[in-house]
């Protein structure tokens, strides 16, 4: 059996109180919208805009800025609602009339209200972007039809929507419409990233950063690529440039990426500690983690699956990794059928999806005895392990080891496992697979050492583990340890099978005393003539060892007692005519 081995914002600030002139009252400056936006404080901007809407009404410019702040704060539904309000107003009531005092209010509130714009059809594209963020791709295509064809933003939006819908023809069509503009190149790099063409994406981002040194957010995209390439320390170094900016200190994306890198380099506790920055920087009462799907998802991972069933199922169609992590959770809880139901219709596109599907098929095949699923698992593992991009990676070598394990070519399994052993010194899954493979190839000493490193109590209670460890004990000359392994088990079919293994392996290795005890117990559980024959042979073996001085005479008394448990005519002959006679002649006390 193989053990398959995977910011919101700061508190709303006020401008510092001005120093009053002598004799004048202290004047407090009103918050400035652009200061909030410049600092990435979108919650502060939204609070200000909501106040202004109450005092000035739903003016177009106020609504546009409010939608902008909501979208950048990750509240895509709120942004969509505002854009939809503008669309409805345009389609049903016409353009909002001018207000006479708008110039005065702009001056007082530092918000651009002059020259209220007429309805711009690009708002349909903004609607489409919100629908895209909400994964409602059909609605994206509906709203963009209302915009004249050829608009660069629309081209990018349809390009990305086609990717989400796996429409390769539409993707190629709009790929050809992309230009060398910064926006188009960023859109292209994003698609390369999503399709796991990470080096191509990195090259585009790096070129753009050279051309636009002040576009600090490009560092986040480059860091994401290096993270996906497993260069976690490099990702952290590059990410630091953006985290040092005002936007970076409040960025959910950047801080979450830093936390993920810490998870890969250290552990879930270190990762969760990084995320606490978001809670510290957010407004009092803001539920940062509850309101953000990605953060809620990642906390499940950092906490090793805690609350997985409450959080992950609703996110399956929102975050692709949610499905994979729910599958991993099911595998850990031995709910193999549920894991299979989630993976059976998934068409893998990246190595981790191929690997996880292979693990699920292997687990199901081993549980049900399905040779078909085991074969499919073997093929999936081989596909990843033999690929040019993965053959020299740790996951790739694990895949080849799993492939050969399922083919029962254990010598080949060892070649791959030994090459990555240094990276998994305390990994239970690795030590399980390594120990079983060594046992299968006859290296019982090292197999025993590897199996004893397994700490998971659930693993240690499985019959596969117990039987292989008992065999290793016997083959290494420690039959007493194998016998104690049996004594710790509760009576069951597994304990009966382990007893059978101990009886036969001890007999084969010349450990006749423990073989005799095992056959005696088997005989009392099941009066099969074969067990009597085994017990008789083991008794003779002990007798011979006593005569040769290789066993103490006390062992002979114990064997005699075990023989008397059998109602067979041969017993009296063996005891009285053979063993007692020898004992009398050699002055050995035998009752």
The residue out of 241, 270, 304 marking a domain boundary is: 304
Residue 144 CA to its chain's centroid (Å):
36
Structural domain count, the chain: 5
Give the residue among 173, 156, 78 at the shortest CA–CA distance from 122: 156
Q: Residue 235 corresponds to which tokens in the numbers above?
A: 């990702």
Q: Are residues 74 and 91 in the same domain?
A: yes
* 261 in Cβ contact with 245 (< 8 Å): no
Structural domain harbouring 256: 179-304
pLDDT at 26: 43
Q: Are residues 211 and 298 in the same domain?
A: yes
Residue 579 lies in a domain: yes
Spatial separation of the C-alpha atoms in residues 376 and 382, rounded to whole Å: 10
Q: What angle do CA 480, 486, 492 make, to 5 degrees?
A: 165
The residue out of 79, 103, 120 marking a domain boundary is: 120
CATH number at residue 484: 1.25.40
CATH number at residue 293: 1.25.40.10
Q: Are residues 537 and 588 in the same domain?
A: yes
| Residue 422: DSSP 8-state | G
pLDDT at 98: 46
Q: Are residues 269 and 249 in the same domain?
A: yes
Q: Are residues 577 and 478 in the same domain?
A: yes
Residue 163 lies in a domain: no
Q: Are residues 261 and 183 in the same domain?
A: yes
Q: Residue 408 corresponds to which tokens in the numbers above?
A: 């029962």
Using the structure block, give the residue that is written with the tokens 């059928």: 337
Q: Are residues 192 and 213 in the same domain?
A: yes
Across the chain, which has 591 residues, the per-10-residue mean pLDDT values are 42 35 49 84 89 87 93 91 92 54 49 62 94 92 87 94 92 94 95 91 96 93 93 95 87 93 94 87 64 90 93 89 95 95 91 95 95 97 93 93 97 96 93 97 97 95 96 97 95 95 96 95 92 93 91 88 88 86 83 75
Residue 54 lies in a domain: yes
Count the Cβ atoms, other than its own, within 10 Å of residue 405.
24
Residue 269 lies in a domain: yes
pTM confidence score: 0.74
Spatial separation of the C-alpha atoms in residues 379 and 399, rounded to whole Å: 10
Element (H, E) at 182: helix 182-194
The torsion region of residue 94 among left (phi > 0), alpha (psi -120 to 50) and beta comes to left
Spatial separation of the C-alpha atoms in residues 473 and 461, rounded to whole Å: 17
pLDDT at 3: 56
Residue 433 lies in a domain: yes
Residue 200 lies in a domain: yes
pLDDT at 93: 61
Q: Which residues contact 320 (CB under 8 A, 6 or more apart)?
A: none
* 436 in Cβ contact with 448 (< 8 Å): no
Q: Are residues 281 and 343 in the same domain?
A: no
Residue 160 lies in a domain: no
pLDDT at 114: 46
The residue out of 80, 96, 120 marking a domain boundary is: 120
Report the SS3 class of residue 323: helix
| Residue 300: DSSP 8-state | H
Q: Are residues 453 and 481 in the same domain?
A: no
Q: Are residues 115 and 192 in the same domain?
A: no
Q: Residue 371 corresponds to which tokens in the numbers above?
A: 């040779």
Spatial separation of the C-alpha atoms in residues 457 and 87, rounded to whole Å: 61
Residue 164 lies in a domain: no
Q: Are residues 479 and 506 in the same domain?
A: yes
Q: What angle do CA 164, 169, 171 make, to 5 degrees?
A: 45
Q: Residue 213 corresponds to which tokens in the numbers above?
A: 């040194």
Count the Cβ atoms, other than its own, within 10 Å of residue 269.
11
Please, where are the H alpha helices in 348-462?
351-368, 371-385, 394-406, 410-420, 428-440, 444-452, 457-460
Tell me the CA distances in angstroms from 2 to 132, 330, 337, 457, 549, one per residue in order.
41, 17, 17, 17, 44
Spatial separation of the C-alpha atoms in residues 226 and 235, rounded to whole Å: 5
Q: Are residues 380 and 418 in the same domain?
A: no
């Amino acid at each position: 059996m193989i053990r398959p081995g995977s910011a919101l914002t700061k508190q709303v600030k006020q401008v510092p109180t001005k120093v009053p002139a002598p004799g004048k009252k202290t004047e407090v400056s009103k918050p400035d919208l652009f200061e909030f936006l410049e600092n990435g404080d979108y919650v502060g901007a939204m609070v200000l805009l909501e106040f202004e809407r109450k005092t000035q009404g739903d003016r177009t410019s106020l609504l546009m800025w409010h939608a902008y702040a909501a979208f950048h704060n990750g509240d895509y539904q709120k942004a969509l609602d505002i854009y939809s309000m503008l669309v409805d107003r345009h389609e049903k009531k016409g353009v909002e009339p001018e207000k006479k005092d708008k110039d005065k209010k702009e001056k007082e509130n530092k918000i651009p209200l002059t020259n209220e714009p007429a309805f711009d059809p690009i708002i349909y594209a903004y609607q489409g972007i919100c629908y895209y963020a909400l994964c409602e791709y059909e609605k994206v295509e509906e709203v963009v039809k209302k915009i004249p064809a050829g608009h660069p933003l629309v081209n990018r939006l349809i390009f990305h929507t086609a990717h989400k819908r796996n429409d390769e023809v539409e993707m190629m069509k709009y790929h050809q419409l992309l230009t060398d503009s910064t926006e188009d190149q960023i859109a292209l790099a994003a698609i390369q990233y999503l399709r796991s063409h990470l080096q191509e994406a990195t090259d585009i981002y790096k070129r753009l950063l050279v051309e636009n040194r002040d576009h600090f957010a490009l560092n986040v995209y480059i860091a994401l690529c290096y993270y996906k390439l497993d260069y976690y320390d490099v990702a952290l170094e590059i990410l630091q440039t953006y985290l040092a900016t005002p936007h970076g200190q409040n960025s959910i994306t950047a801080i979450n990426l830093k936390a993920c890198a810490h998870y890969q380099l250290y552990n879930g506790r270190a990762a969760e500690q990084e995320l606490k920055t978001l809670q510290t920087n957010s407004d009092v009462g803001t539920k940062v983690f509850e309101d953000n799907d990605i953060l809620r998802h990642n906390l499940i991972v950092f906490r090793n699956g805690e609350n997985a069933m409450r959080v992950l199922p609703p996110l399956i169609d929102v975050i692709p990794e949610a499905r994979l992590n729910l599958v991993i959770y099911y595998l850990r809880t031995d709910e193999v059928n549920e894991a299979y139901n989630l993976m059976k219709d998934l068409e893998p596109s990246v190595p981790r999806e191929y690997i996880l599907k292979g693990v699920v098929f292997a687990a199901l095949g081993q549980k049900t005895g399905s040779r078909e699923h085991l074969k499919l698992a073997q093929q999936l593992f081989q596909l990843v392990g033999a690929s040019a991009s993965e053959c020299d990676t740790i996951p790739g070598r694990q895949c080849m080891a799993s492939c050969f394990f399922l083919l029962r070519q254990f010598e080949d399994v060892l070649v791959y496992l030994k090459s990555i052993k240094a990276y998994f010194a305390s990994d239970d899954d690795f030590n399980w697979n390594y120990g079983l493979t060594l046992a299968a190839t006859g290296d019982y000493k090292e197999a025993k050492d590897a199996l004893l490193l397994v700490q998971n109590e659930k693993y240690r209670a499985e019959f596969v583990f117990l039987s292989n460890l008992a065999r290793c004990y016997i083959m290494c000359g420690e039959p007493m340890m194998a016998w104690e392994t049996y004594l710790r088990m509760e009576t069951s079919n597994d304990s009966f099978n382990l007893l059978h293994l101990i009886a036969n392996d001890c007999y084969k290795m010349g450990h006749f005393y423990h073989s005799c005890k095992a056959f005696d117990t088997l005989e009392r559980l099941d009066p099969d003539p074969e067990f009597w024959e085994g017990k008789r042979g083991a008794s003779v073996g002990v007798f011979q060892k006593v005569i040769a001085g290789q066993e103490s005479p006390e062992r002979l008394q114990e064997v005699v007692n075990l023989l008397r448990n059998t109602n067979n005519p041969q017993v009296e002959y063996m005891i009285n005519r053979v063993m007692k006679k020898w004992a009398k002649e050699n002055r050995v006390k035998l009752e």
